[in-house]
């Protein structure tokens, strides 16, 4: 579910080719997202889930972003 949100933003708002948007794809190395594109992903996650996801300086896969977001959501549910 989270991955679909991110993929939708990457493809439909940022113009990436859908084939390269996979859970294993690294944000910097594979997708070459710049800081403004990261902001768009963060905004979409905030809109959809109400969370503040901040990209770290280290490269990260889309799958790992999803895991972090799901963890944040579960913490919100439990709090």
- For residues 18 and 11, is the Cβ–Cβ distance under 8 A? yes
- Closest separation in Å from C-beta 70 to another protein: 22
Q: Across the strands, what pairs with 61?
A: 26
Within positions 3 to 62, which residues make up the interface with another protein, using CB under 8 A? 13-16, 35-36, 39-40, 43, 46-47
Report how many residues bind another protein under the rule CB under 8 A: 11
Q: In the chain, how long is the greatest CA-to-CA distance? A: 38
**φ and ψ at residue 56, rounded to 5 degrees:** -90, 175
Beta carbon of residue 46, minimum distance to another protein (angstroms, whole number): 7
- In the DSSP assignment, the letter for residue 30 is T
Q: Between residues 47 and 75, which has the closer beta carbon with respect to another protein?
A: 47
Sites of contact with another protein (CB under 8 A): 13-16, 35-36, 39-40, 43, 46-47
């Amino acid at each position: 579910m989270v991955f679909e949100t991110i993929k939708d933003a990457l493809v439909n708002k940022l113009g990436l080719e859908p084939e390269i948007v996979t859970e294993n794809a690294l944000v910097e190395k594979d997708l070459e997202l710049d800081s403004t594109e990261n902001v768009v992903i963060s905004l979409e996650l905030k809109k959809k889930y109400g969370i503040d996801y901040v990209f770290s300086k280290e490269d990260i896969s889309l799958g790992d972003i999803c895991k972090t977001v799901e963890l944040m959501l579960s913490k919100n549910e439990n709090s």
